[in-house]
Amino acid sequence: MREKILEMEEYANEHNVPIIEKDSIAFIMKFIKANNVKSVLEIGTAIGYSAILMAQSTDDVVVTTIERDETRYMEALKNIKKCDLENRITVHYQDALEMNLSGVSYDMIFIDAAKGQYTKFFEKYKYFLNPGGVIITDNLKFHGHVGNRSNIASKNLKQLVGKIEDYIDFLKNNEEFETKFYDVGDGLSVSIKKNDI
């Protein structure tokens, strides 16, 4: 299995596919184990790297993951098959903001897709959490740009960083959820519904 993980890391590197940092996925795998997470919804599959590692956290956690890019979706299917995890990982080829979920809920939701849309993902998917469930978000430091907007020359990048900063404020001021921020990898948050604490 380690070899397959290394192959995915090489592929991501060669094809410029952003995948989660090692410390962050280690944190999430530990979280899944420690909190007895049985079901995960991931927004942003890319090539299936984090989905495969999350599924390997325990023997019985199941992962549903959503990807809107066809090439990455196909690559994810291939990798999941190679790792023999087709029975525990389901990939949807769809835009997560257009997807209609019903009758399902999850112990953990992992937001790792378009950074400018984090608040939309959070607001849409918070209804699909089981009691005691959490929403984890990655890339809140955005390679050190967050909190340092004045040093950025590109207008688009500045705008994107502004959206991540807005999302952090949204989490901090959210009356429904209690959020803890972790200086792990590219910055992670763990949000738990207040009445579930």
Residues at the contact surface with ligand SAM, assessed by CB under 6 A? 18-20, 44, 46, 49-50, 66-69, 72, 95-97, 112-114
Residue 49 CB, shortest distance to ligand SAM, in Å, is: 3
Residue 189 CB, shortest distance to ligand SAM, in Å, is: 15
Nearer to ligand SAM, 97 or 152 (CB): 97
Nearer to ligand SAM, 120 or 196 (CB): 120
- The residue number with the shortest CB distance to ligand SAM is 44
CA angle (133 as vertex; 185, 188 as ends), nearest 5: 15
Q: Is 187 helix (H, G, I), strand (E, B) or coil?
A: coil
Residue 197 CB, shortest distance to ligand SAM, in Å, is: 27
Q: Is 154 helix (H, G, I), strand (E, B) or coil?
A: coil
In terms of Cβ atoms closer than 10 Å to its own Cβ (0-12, 13-18, 19+), residue 21 is middle
Nearer to ligand SAM, 54 or 171 (CB): 54
Segment holding 58, helix H or strand E: none
CA distance 188 to 28: 9
Nearer to ligand SAM, 52 or 129 (CB): 52
Residue 75 CB, shortest distance to ligand SAM, in Å, is: 10
Residue 195 CB, shortest distance to ligand SAM, in Å, is: 28
Nearer to ligand SAM, 107 or 138 (CB): 138
Which of 139-142's residues contact partners 24+ apart within 8 Å by CB, and which partners? 139/112, 139/115, 139/164, 139/186, 139/187, 140/164, 140/167, 140/168, 140/181, 140/186, 140/187, 140/188, 140/189, 141/183, 141/186, 141/187, 142/115, 142/186, 142/187
Nearer to ligand SAM, 184 or 196 (CB): 184
Residue 188 CB, shortest distance to ligand SAM, in Å, is: 12
CA distance 150 to 171: 22
